[in-house]
Amino acid sequence: MAHLLRPLLQWRLRSSTVSQLLSFHSAPPRATTSLPFFALFSSTCRQVHSRARALKLRDSPPLSDANESGDELSDGSDVKKSRNERKRDARCAVRWGMDLANFTPPQIKRILRVAELEHEVFEAIMVVKRLGSDVREGKRRQYNYIGKLLRGVVPELMDGLIQSIKDGDLSKFQELTGAELALDNDEVSEEEISEEEEEEEDYTNMAAVTRWFDGLVNKDLDITNEIYSLREVDFDRQELRQLVRKVQSASAQEAGLEERVEADANARRSLTRFLQGLADQLPDE
């Protein structure tokens, strides 16, 4: 009997187990089963949002950075503009030097006096006036040096002064000189006349100085012997030799353009002063 009942009991246990399993799989999903989906959805949204924000940060900078970039661009344009202005001013100053070199020494001094420029500018212009037409490179360097000295001048004033001298318009020149000069017109005219007479006397010696200068620098033996054989005046011959060597070596030195121009101008100015003093001591013929 026991042998017959045991298989029946085992069959009922198995059938109940199978029914429980079927009921578990066929039951509707609980609310908790939807949590992984929402978690996955929110995680995906966060990833998309962070990715979009990363792209936005990479492609478009923040407002402060954009403002700084705009300022840098505007500063760059200002720098470029000022550089172009400096080039234009430099060319204009060189042109002034060329115009001044075409005037007589009294006219040059009159313009420089009104423009409140140093006597160094006058000496630099006199140096370029003494250079011959064959000394092209020396003239170019000297004009660049003169232009450097003239860059601080008021453009309208210098243009007006040069143009008034070219046109011979004294009224325009006096108008540009200011009210004080116009009030003391007679007094200034007398002073200018006396100064011009002295300058004309200096200019007569300038021909001899120019001849000596060119002869010494170009190693002309006749002119060199003429100068060193002078007995009417006493001068330091060793110093003269040193000044001549400085002028000859200044043009050959390897330096920047501005340094070379300035060194060449300083050497020429020193030699010119020495020769000018030598010419002033010569007795009148």
Residue 240 has pLDDT above 90, yes or no: yes
User: Quick check: pTM over 0.85?
Assistant: no
- Decide which of 215 and 48 is more confident: 215
193-217 mean pLDDT: 68
Confidence of residue 242 (pLDDT cuts 50, 70, 90): very high
**How confident is the model over 14-40, as a mean pLDDT?**
50
Q: Is the pLDDT higher at 65 or at 92?
A: 92
CB atoms within 10 A of CB 141: 23
Look at residue 59 and tell me whether its pLDDT is greater than 60. no
Q: Please give the torsion angle defined by the CA atoms of residues 23, 29, 35 and 37, in that order, rounded to the nearest 10 degrees.
A: 110
Residue 96 is predicted with a pLDDT of 92
203/104 Cα distance (integer angstroms): 9
User: Residue 86: which pLDDT band, with cuts at 50, 70 and 90?
Assistant: confident
CA angle 239, 240, 242 (to 5 degrees): 65
Write the DSSP assignment of 70-115 as a string of letters.
HHHHHHHHHHHHHHHHHHHHHHHHHHHHHHHHTS-HHHHHHHHHHT
Average pLDDT value over all residues in the chain: 70
DSSP for residue 281: T
| pLDDT tens string 102-161 | 888 888 988 988 888 878 888 888 888 877 766 777 788 888 889 888 888 888 889 989
Using left for φ > 0, alpha for ψ between -120 and 50, and beta otherwise, residue 48 falls in alpha
Task: Answer yes or no: are the C-beta atoms of 128 and 142 closer than 8 Å.
Answer: yes
pLDDT, residue 198, reads 53
Residue 8 has pLDDT above 90, yes or no: no
